[in-house]
Amino acid sequence: MTDNSDDWKPQTALVHGGTLRSQFGETSEAIYLTQGFLYESAQAAEARFKGEEPGFIYSRYANPTVDMFEKRVCALEGAEDARATASGMAAVSAALLCSLKAGDHVVAARALFGSCRWVVETLMPRYGIETTLVDGASLEAWEGAVRPNTKLFFLESPTNPTLEVCDIAAIARLTNGIGARLVVDNVFATPLLQKPLELGAHVVVYSATKHIDGQGRCLGGVILSDKEWIDEHLHDYFRHTGPSLSPFNAWTLLKGLETLPLRVRQQMENAARAADYLAEHPKVSRVVYPGRKDHPQAEIVARQMKGGSTLVCFDLKDGKEAAFAFENALKIIGISNNLGDAKSLVTHPATTTHKNLDDDARAQAGIGPGTLRLSLGLEDAEDLIKDLDQALQRA
């Protein structure tokens, strides 16, 4: 079944895109919780396996509910094709590994989500893939890292947790110049605030666990690119290694997509309010928020993003002790390493998400003992500021 989603604006695509309605005409999308599919005849099975007849074969390859989720994300992102995965890390590892082989070289920005960094720094070299980590904000660093066998660039923007920004269009031009490909992890920006494919990136990946679900329920991920790249590199890798998304989780994520713009807009407004409040507080030594004029790369933000972010990074002057006292005094905002949720959450990266980095690497990533990452939820902004205020008094 096809739709005319090409003409739709994002909010319409997020409610209707990819819908496959059954003979019952259900309003909400159906959950096709099935492993396999029956064929009308032996001849039909043969034709389907040969690819001569459309239809589903096995849910590791494709499933109607998962297909709706993939088509809906494609419509939003403006991508030709997508594959949904069981988690964000399944998406990242498949997107990176499916096209690489021993002897290839990968350049990645140093400021990566912890597990992404492990895949690049630890896993890839075990299989003979050379890797270099660079300062993602420096174009010269990307250029300087290129080798004759460089096949892939990988970055995250804004970064976790310090919300630094990479110039995606400039890095994409560099990638094209050497015949390599750029993969962007767009979790922190969400598909609403930044469109890496339009900026020249070749592949975009999401942890759908974050804003796409946005209500703390299930894990998921998605890889988007042009049809040619998916057919050539991802198709077989995906079918035979099995990172597929469960139909039930795909349904949950479909429901999440319907309200994504409303939630991201409200969370971003809350983040902007919190950033402005924190920037004026005497116990706070630094606030990083891509929506503020004092963001270190405000000019790039203005060029490639439609809004700030739903997260704020800030430093307390008195280090770890103050950060812990602040976290423990919070009444509404919860302590959790998750993000993009309806509930506001805070984490102390040095002792949680980034505890595996040594002191030098942490300092290089801009993470100090007083650094906190705040993910804004859907609560009332005034209640959140009151909570920050009373907790800062105890910090």
Interface with ligand PLP (CB under 6 A): 87-89, 92, 113, 116, 156, 160, 185, 187-188, 207, 209-210, 219, 221
Shortest separation between residue 88's beta carbon and ligand PLP, angstroms: 2
Q: Which is nearer to ligand PLP, 221 or 308 (CB)?
A: 221
Q: Write down the H helix ranges in 242-394.
A: 247-279, 298-304, 319-329, 359-364, 381-393
Q: In angstroms, what is the C-alpha Rg of the chain? A: 22
Q: Which is nearer to ligand PLP, 116 or 272 (CB)?
A: 116
Residue 334 pairs with which residues in a beta bridge? 345
Q: Write down the H helix ranges in the chain.
A: 10-16, 42-50, 64-77, 88-97, 114-118, 124-126, 139-145, 168-177, 190-193, 227-229, 235-241, 247-279, 298-304, 319-329, 359-364, 381-393
Q: Which is nearer to ligand PLP, 210 or 354 (CB)?
A: 210
What does the alpha-carbon distance between residue 88 and residue 185 come to, in Å, rounded to a whole number?
A: 9
Closest by CA to 212, choosing from 70, 6, 19, is 70
Q: Tokens in use for 86?
A: 């069981």
Q: Which is nearer to ligand PLP, 73 or 284 (CB)?
A: 73
Shortest separation between residue 283's beta carbon and ligand PLP, angstroms: 27
Shortest separation between residue 376's beta carbon and ligand PLP, angstroms: 15
What does the alpha-carbon distance between residue 182 and residue 96 come to, in Å, rounded to a whole number?
A: 10
What does the alpha-carbon distance between residue 60 and residue 238 come to, in Å, rounded to a whole number?
A: 8
Shortest separation between residue 187's beta carbon and ligand PLP, angstroms: 4
Shortest separation between residue 61's beta carbon and ligand PLP, angstroms: 21
Q: Which is nearer to ligand PLP, 247 or 387 (CB)?
A: 247
Q: Which is nearer to ligand PLP, 221 or 391 (CB)?
A: 221
Closest by CA to 188, choosing from 102, 116, 237, is 116
Q: Tokens in use for 66?
A: 């998962």
Shortest separation between residue 119's beta carbon and ligand PLP, angstroms: 10
Shortest separation between residue 337's beta carbon and ligand PLP, angstroms: 9
Q: Which is nearer to ligand PLP, 89 or 316 (CB)?
A: 89
Q: Which is nearer to ligand PLP, 136 or 284 (CB)?
A: 136
Shortest separation between residue 141's beta carbon and ligand PLP, angstroms: 20
What does the alpha-carbon distance between residue 103 and residue 101 come to, in Å, rounded to a whole number?
A: 6
**Residue nearest ligand PLP (C-beta atom):** 88
Q: What angle do CA 330, 339, 307 make, to 5 degrees?
A: 105
